[in-house]
Structures are given as C-alpha cells and as structure tokens.
Amino acid sequence: MLENNGDMLLEQGVRFLGPKYLRVRGRSLSAMFRLSWYNGPTPRRTPQSQLEFLAKGCKRLVISEEIFSGIMTDPEGRVPFPMYEFLPEKLEELVAAWAPIKPQIFLSVRNPATFMASVYSQSLHGTPHIGPRTFRARNDWRNVDWADFVTRIRATPGLGNVVVWRQEDYSDNPRPVLRKLLQWRAGGKVKVIDERLHQGLSSPAVRLTLQQAADGETGRLASEARKRFPINEMNEPFKLYAASTLAEAEQIYADQVAQIAAMDGVQLLYRRKDMPNEVNKG
C-alpha cells in the first residue's frame, strides 16, 4: 500500500523503502550497513552517509522488511520459540550502526491462535506441506507470547520508543497507524486499499495443496490453489482451530496486550476503554 503512495509521501517529506527496494541484490539492510552476517562486498558509504542517501532529503525514512525478523518455520514445519529468537541481536547491531540516531520500531500483534493459523497458511506456500493436525502437534499456539517479544525488543540499547497495535484494530481502521508511522499530514493522505493484499487460503485450497503435494507435484501449489478456490460464499476460509480455542487464545491475548500497554517506552495504539488511562503513553 505504501509503495503505491510513494510519490505523495515524498512530497510530504517521507521516504518509504519496502521489499520492492530492499530485496534487490546489494540493497538488503545487512548489505547496505555491513552487518556481521553479510558476506558480500564492503559498502562504499558509511552507515550515516547511507542513511542520508536513502532519505533523499526527506525528514522521515520509513523502512519495512519483515524477513529481517527471521524465519517463521524450520524445514520440518516447526515454529522456533521464542519467536524471532535472534531478532534482538540483529536489531542491536543495526541500531548501533545508525547511532546516534534512535530509530522507532513499529510492530503489530494478533491473537496467538489466529497468528499460528496464518503461519500455517504461509508455510503451505513453501515446504514442507504438512497437514493441519501435524502442524498443531508440532506447534503450540500457547507459546506465542507477544509481551515477551516486545520486552526483548524494547531492551535494545539505543532504540527509540516502540509503537504497537493489534492487527484486529488496524483491519477495522488503519488511519491511526498511518498517521503515527508517517506523521499526521502524510498519514491522512494515504490511499488505503480496501481488499486484503494477501488473502488467506480457503478450506478447498488447503485440501488441494496437500493432495497435490502428496501426489508429488511441485511448484506454486498453494498460490495456484488459492486462485482456483478463492475465499467466497462457496469456499469458506480455512480454520486451523475451533472457535473454543480462539476464545481461549483471546483471553491470553488480552493479558499480553495489557502487559505491553504498561511497559515504559512503549505506546499502544487504539487505546481501549477497558484499559487503564496510562496505556497510551510512549
């Protein structure tokens, strides 16, 4: 969405860099700032001059690259816990390279069970193609602890404040996130996209993907199955968990969000009426 608003953002003094830019050879964050795990050529620019070059004279530089966080599933379809275990170390190295600038971190959280359901659907776009029962047996949604995750991120030396929101709130009204991320004026001008960019898989699409994989077929199985059986009135969304599990997860999720809201240096957007007044600090 922000890629499509790039020209407007530049006019407002904001430059956005997303996967389209950052996944070109030599443009990853590790390559541009010579992070320790990068084995390519030494960058021509210092970290500070690189940031200045990337900003193109804009007052605000927004970088979005989810793969910097790390992988979600291993070759056997297991989700490593704690989530994104090595992200704090990687983030600390990047922040140190940018010093004395103190970058802000923006991140979204969601119901642990629906998060794991999304991870399962995404895993079907790669390998292995394991069934839902196997995935559930290998991965307990109760291990998804957003409060712990934010705590580990917030401990990064040299980091600015952390801004957090519930994905469920953003889906209903993205404007508060856009205004905070891009500044008030630019965030208000962004043309939002009504439909979901990455639609999930329907139940027939999951069945077809697993059947084709079992038959030895290869290629973009899940993507093609999604095109053949999109979510609509005829094809219901795939559900990894029962409604009772989602409800149980919602209670745990609420506790995690409350813990996040009370953290120093963290701002929780979409302040809810049932939360204490101090939750919107940061």
| Residue 225 lies inside a defined structural domain of this protein | no
**pLDDT at position 28 over 70:** yes
Looking at residue 271, its pLDDT comes to: 72
Per DSSP, the residues of 119-131 read: HHHHHTTSS----
* Type and span of the H or E element at 266: strand 266-268
Among 40-44, 46-50, 132-136, the minimum mean pLDDT is found in 40-44
Six-digit token pair at 105?
Answer: 């971190």
Is residue 167 within 8 Å of residue 117, measured between CB atoms?
no
Which CATH number covers residue 137? 3.40.50
| Residue 120 lies inside a defined structural domain of this protein | yes
Beta strands, E only, 4-112? 14-17, 60-63, 105-109
| Residue 210 lies inside a defined structural domain of this protein | no
**pLDDT at position 138 over 60:** yes
- Closest CA relative to residue 15, chosen from 2, 26, 25, 24: 2
Looking at residue 128, its pLDDT comes to: 85
Looking at residue 281, its pLDDT comes to: 45
Task: State mean pLDDT over 192-199.
Answer: 70
Per residue in 173-183, pLDDT (tens digit) is 999 999 999 99
**pLDDT at position 279 over 50:** no
Task: State mean pLDDT over 82-86.
Answer: 93
**pLDDT at position 280 over 50:** no
Looking at residue 198, its pLDDT comes to: 67
**pLDDT at position 154 over 90:** yes
What domain range includes position 121? 3-200+238-280
**pLDDT at position 89 over 90:** yes
Task: State mean pLDDT over 20-46.
Answer: 95
| Confidence at 268, pLDDT banded by 50, 70, 90 | very high
Tell me the C-alpha to C-alpha distance, in Å, between residue 138 and each of 44, 82, 116, 131, 132: 45, 14, 11, 11, 10
Helices first, then strands: H and E counts in the chain: 14, 5
| Residue 214 lies inside a defined structural domain of this protein | no
Length of the chain: 282
Q: How many domains does the chain have?
A: 1
Task: State mean pLDDT over 179-198.
Answer: 85
Backbone angles phi and psi of 277, in degrees to 5: -60, -30
* Type and span of the H or E element at 256: helix 243-261
| Residue 205 lies inside a defined structural domain of this protein | no
Six-digit token pair at 230?
Answer: 């999109």
How many C-beta neighbours within 10 Å does residue 179 have?
17
Is residue 261 within 8 Å of residue 109, measured between CB atoms?
no
Task: State mean pLDDT over 199-207.
Answer: 94
How many C-beta neighbours within 10 Å does residue 88 have?
18
Q: Using CA atoms, how far apart are residues 15 and 58, in angstroms rounded to an integer?
A: 6
| Residue 207 lies inside a defined structural domain of this protein | no
Quick one: residue 156, left, alpha or beta (phi over 0 = left, psi -120 to 50 = alpha)?
A: beta
**pLDDT at position 282 over 50:** no
> Considering the chain, what percentage of its residues have pLDDT values greater than 70?
94
More reliable by pLDDT, 278 or 219? 219
Task: State mean pLDDT over 151-162.
Answer: 97
| Residue 232 lies inside a defined structural domain of this protein | no
Looking at residue 274, its pLDDT comes to: 60
Secondary-structure breakdown of the chain: helix, strand, coil percentages, each rounded to the nearest 5: 50, 10, 45
Q: Whole-model pTM?
A: 0.91
Expressed in angstroms, the distance from the first to the final Cα of the chain is 26
Task: State mean pLDDT over 244-256.
Answer: 98
| Residue 148 lies inside a defined structural domain of this protein | yes
Average pLDDT, the chain: 93
